[in-house]
């Protein structure tokens, strides 16, 4: 079964003063998670201990998630994973760090949040902060590994795919999941990838330990592996700059990326480009990483000029999209070229094979035709030579759609434009 085409009109919020001025919120694919992350409970080991047996676990094998179908993730219960995860929250966080032993391995376990709308969960927790109810969810790494966990990891992964239809999905960029599951996967995948790349401290090279239920890592000051006997004093690791001041914890990385629909000064054409390795006639909006100490608006102007030679004036932020490959935040903007800055020059940065000004009417027609991803064969009904654009699950599509619907026009003209579609 295929998921229905993605619609960004998922915002539950009522019509309001801000929505009347700026339009309805665009909920991009990979955002809009059904889970409440309750991030303040991640270091509360009493909560985590209580939640574990009532939880559902998303298994990831080399970042491929367990799925029950083409459109849905597959979940396993605590009984299936308890022997692998052991008792990770028996000690409070401070004691866990003190008891660090670099010989002991543990699979990465990440608390994702509570689904407060789940009807089949009775889990509830009352603590200092209040009462929290809902189905708890975790992500668990079951990638093959040598060492003491090898057999347990293999067993959990093998048992999980015995359920009919269950498999670890090997999809390069997964755009087929229903939106809620896509958002959960984005969250789990980005954090799992970050954990796997930060097993060692960036400052001293020593092993790090997962804290805050898989959402932070720290460089422990002691290591029991070097204690000759259990009665000896704790073995102190060499001093590490990461243990000083406020930067004593490694936080997950999110890479801000700007992606922009650039209009010509008259508002009649859109600037789109293509990379050499893309399929023929496939174009998209320009994009690039935001650099340190650069505003998003400046990043839009710099990247557009470097890649296309076009000089951009005013820039307006439209919407944003988490992109878990591996951990980008796509920040979507609409910008306009300066009247004397519209000339396309590709010689600065060789990233694009081509960039062109496309009439908005042509972009609109291409958006009305079926689209699919970069790695798919052209959609059914595609005529050779037609413009191909990214599907609705990509923020690039939503930016082009916004412009086709008159995002840049005074509100009196928007109604007239929308009526023509
Ligand atoms: Zn360190």
User: What is the 204 CA–ligand 1 centroid distance (Å)?
Assistant: 4
The domain covering 255-420 belongs, at the CATH homologous superfamily level, to Nucleoside Triphosphate Pyrophosphohydrolase (3.90.79.10)
> Is the sign of the CA dihedral 335, 338, 343, 348 positive or negative?
negative
What pLDDT digit, counting tens, does each position of 384-402 carry?
Answer: 999 999 999 999 999 999 9
Q: Please, is 210 exposed, middle or buried when counting C-beta atoms within 10 Å of its C-beta (0-12, 13-18, 19+)?
A: buried
User: What is the 221 CA–ligand 1 centroid distance (Å)?
Assistant: 8
Which 3 state secondary structure label does DSSP give 319? strand
> Is the sign of the CA dihedral 358, 363, 366, 370 positive or negative?
positive
Least confident of 27-36, 120-129, 155-164, 410-419: 410-419
User: What is the 225 CA–ligand 1 centroid distance (Å)?
Assistant: 16
User: What is the 238 CA–ligand 1 centroid distance (Å)?
Assistant: 8
User: What is the 203 CA–ligand 1 centroid distance (Å)?
Assistant: 5
Residue 414 has pLDDT above 70, yes or no: no
User: What is the 111 CA–ligand 1 centroid distance (Å)?
Assistant: 24
User: What is the 202 CA–ligand 1 centroid distance (Å)?
Assistant: 7
DSSP per-residue letters across 152-187: HHHHHHHHHTTSTT-EE---SS---S-HHHHHHHHH
User: What is the 60 CA–ligand 1 centroid distance (Å)?
Assistant: 27
Question: What are the boundaries of each domain within the chain?
Answer: 32-247, 255-420
User: What angle do helix axes 78-85 and 150-160 make, rounded to 10 degrees?
Assistant: 170
Angle, CA of 234, 237 and 241, to the nearest 5°: 135
The predicted pLDDT at position 4 comes to 57
Q: 332 near 290, Cβ under 8 Å?
A: no
User: What is the 240 CA–ligand 1 centroid distance (Å)?
Assistant: 5
Tokens matching residue 323: 């992109």
What pLDDT digit, counting tens, does each position of 83-115 carry?
Answer: 999 999 999 999 999 999 999 999 999 999 999
């Amino acid at each position: 079964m295929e998921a229905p085409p993605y619609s960004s009109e998922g915002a539950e919020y009522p019509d309001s003063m801000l929505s009347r001025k700026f339009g309805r919120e665009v909920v991009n694919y990979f955002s809009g998670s059904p889970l409440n992350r309750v991030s303040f409970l991640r270091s509360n080991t009493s909560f985590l201990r209580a939640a574990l047996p009532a939880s559902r676990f998303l298994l990831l094998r080399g970042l491929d998630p367990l799925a029950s179908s083409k459109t849905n993730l597959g979940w396993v219960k605590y009984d299936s994973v308890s022997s692998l995860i052991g008792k990770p929250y028996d000690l409070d966080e401070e004691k866990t760090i003190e008891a660090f032993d670099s010989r002991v391995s543990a699979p990465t376990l990440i608390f994702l949040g509570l689904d407060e709308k789940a009807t089949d969960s009775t889990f509830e927790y009352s603590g200092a902060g209040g009462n929290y109810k809902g189905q708890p969810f975790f992500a668990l790494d079951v990638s093959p590994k040598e060492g003491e966990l090898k057999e347990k990891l293999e067993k959990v992964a093998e048992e999980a795919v015995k359920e009919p239809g269950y498999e670890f999905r090997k999809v390069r960029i997964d755009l087929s999941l229903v939106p809620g599951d896509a958002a959960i996967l984005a969250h789990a995948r980005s954090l799992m990838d970050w954990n796997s790349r930060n097993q060692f401290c960036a400052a001293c090279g020593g092993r790090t330990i997962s804290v805050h239920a898989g959402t932070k890592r720290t460089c422990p000051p002691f290591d029991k592996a070097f204690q000759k006997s259990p009665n000896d004093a704790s073995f102190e690791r060499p001093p590490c700059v990461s243990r000083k001041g406020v930067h004593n914890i490694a936080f997950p990385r999110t890479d801000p990326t700007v992606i922009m629909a650039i209009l010509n000064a008259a508002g009649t054409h859109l600037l789109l480009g293509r990379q050499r390795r893309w399929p023929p006639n496939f174009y998209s909006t320009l994009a690039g990483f935001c650099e340190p100490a650069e505003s998003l608006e400046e990043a839009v102007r710099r990247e557009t000029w470097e890649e296309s030679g076009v000089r951009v004036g005013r820039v307006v932020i439209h919407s944003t999209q988490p992109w878990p490959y591996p951990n980008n935040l796509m920040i979507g903007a609409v910008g306009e070229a300066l009247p004397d800055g519209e000339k396309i020059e590709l010689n600065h940065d060789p990233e694009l094979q081509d960039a062109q000004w496309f009439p908005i009417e042509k972009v609109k027609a291409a958006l009305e035709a079926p689209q699919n991803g970069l790695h798919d064969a052209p959609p059914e009904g595609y005529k050779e030579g037609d413009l191909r654009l990214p599907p609705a699950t990509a923020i690039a599509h939503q930016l082009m759609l916004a412009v086709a619907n008159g995002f840049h026009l005074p509100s009196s003209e928007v109604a007239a434009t929308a009526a023509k579609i």
